Amino acid sequence: MEIKDNEFSRQFEILVEGQLITIEYSFQERKIFLTRINLPDHFENDEIINEFLKNIMIIAEERKLKVVPIHPKIAQFFRKNPVYRDLLPPGIRI
């Protein structure tokens, strides 16, 4: 899976079957806030979304960032994958 970090639009992007899937973000200090997931109409493949989020977590680890999940699907990802909870900033519990 090839992720493009579109810094101008502040979003991570992937192409799946010719359709663009994006996760919008914003930075504050050493934290990345994952604010929104943009999916094509009738897209139901949660496995691809989970793989996309896992790759974003790798990027956050490499950049030494803490991740603040704003979108409910991203918070749900943290609940299902407790291995990434160390990326949450202090005081945030999911």
Distance of CA 28 to the CA centre of its chain: 16
Taking the whole predicted model, whether its pTM rises above 0.75 is answered as: yes
What's the confidence (pLDDT) of residue 45?
A: 86
Which helix (H) or strand (E) covers residue 14, if one does?
Answer: strand 11-16
Summarize pLDDT for 55-88 with one digit per residue, the tens: 999 999 999 999 999 999 999 999 999 999 999 9
Residue appearing with tokens 């999911």: 94
Question: Which residues on adjacent β-strands are paired with residue 83?
Answer: none
